[in-house]
Amino acid sequence: MNLTNAILQLVVMALVTYLVRMLPMTLFTKKITSRFLRSFLYYVPYAVLGAMTFPAIFFSAGGIISGLVGTVVALVLAFCRKSLLTVAVCACAAVFVTNLLLTLL
Amino acid sequence: MVQNSFSRGVRDGVPIALGYVSVSFTFGMMAVAQGLPVWFAVAVSMTNLTSAGQFAGLSLIVSGASFLEMALTQLTINLRYALMSLSLTQKLDSSVTLADRFWISFGNTDEIFAVASGQPGAVGKKYFLGLMSMPYLGWALGTLLGAAAGNVLPASVRSALGIAIYGMFLAIIIPVAREKKPVLFVVILATALSCAFYWIPGLNRVSSGFVIIICALVAAGLAAWRFPVQDELHREAQPTDAPSSEEEARS
């Protein structure tokens, strides 16, 4: 691997990622009047995060069983309105313990 | 009501930052394992500030992909940010200038966006600066730690860290889905679609970046058509919002 090439790739990566975020925010400065469009934009983050989480979360723990246990723990804690940190850390802990138990069995 | 307190932003950003440390730690660890220098891994995190895009970019750099392939992959994976930036334009307080938008958009990540758009009223630049500061530091610091010292951790700990980011996503969407039926509808529909794209033969050849965009367009589009949101001005004019009425019920 050539480091100069890697640096150029980094520039491409950073530039594209920034433009994708920056252009819609700077080119579009007015309030949207369309009720449909406003509703659509309100729902987008929930759709994106839902699609990003499932099914990827099941495979994020190095094993499907520990992935399922971690998912259930995260779902229950999130349902109880626990903080981002609590949910994330407890899901990790659940995965860690499950993996540990599985190796002992 | 405008949320524009810097310190409040910093406080709201701390949980995001801690979650980011665990995810960026994994990124730093992987970058170094693939033969990249520590400073390079940190430079990627400090200039990109995106999880999925960086992991995909890393494997492209290592495999010697073309610049065009890199650009198209980043565009696809990160196109959701365009929708989020557009959505955030509706959330920003009127005192936010065009110049401010150049740096605010840089800090528009999934989690920062979710917290900012979860605020009851408009959001000001001081709040946003506070909100993005800790996650940015956490993302950079986690990458540095993972790159410099990742191999010290046992494999069992490293594999347990992978679920952190998804736990964070759930903590953002589930409480809202619990209260608002249309959001629950959006989450279930997007999840079902995403699973269909993963498991159904033929559909599973669509790249993950496009899957997210398709799910977002369909689920959010259907919900916007079936359950249009209340007019914002109308909603802000009403003093009793859902949380306050709940407090009354408790007391």
Q: Which of A53, A57, A75, A90 best tests the B interface by mutation, with the highest count of B CBs <10 A?
A: A53
- On the CB side of B228, CA atoms within 13 Å amount to 10
Q: Is the pLDDT of residue A17 over 60?
A: yes
Q: B92 with B123: CB under 8 angstroms?
A: yes
Q: Whole-angstrom Cα distance, residue B242 to residue B178?
A: 12
Q: B86 with A41: CB under 8 angstroms?
A: yes
Is residue B231 classed as helix, strand or coil in its secondary structure? coil
What's the pLDDT score for residue B231?
59
Cβ contact B84–A45 (<8 Å): yes
Does the interface ipTM go beyond 0.85?
yes
Mean pLDDT for chain A overall: 91
CA distance A40 to chain B (A): 5
Instruction: Tell me the pLDDT tens digit for each residue of B127-142.
Output: 999 999 999 999 999 9
Q: Is the pLDDT of residue B246 over 60?
A: no
Question: How distant, in Å, are the alpha carbons of A11, A23, A55, B56, B72 from that of B68?
Answer: 12, 20, 29, 14, 6
Q: Is the pLDDT of residue B159 over 50?
A: yes
Cβ contact B186–A50 (<8 Å): yes
What's the pLDDT score for residue A48?
82
Q: Is the pLDDT of residue B221 over 90?
A: yes
CA distance B70 to chain A (A): 7
Q: Whole-angstrom Cα distance, residue B79 to residue A52?
A: 13
- Higher-confidence residue of B236 and B126: namely B126
Residue of A nearest to B213 (CA): A48
pTM: 0.76
Cβ contact A84–B212 (<8 Å): no
In chain B, domain spans: 2-172, 180-244
Q: Whole-angstrom Cα distance, residue B145 to residue B42?
A: 9
Q: Whole-angstrom Cα distance, residue A98 to residue A65?
A: 8
B133 touches chain A (CB under 8 A): no
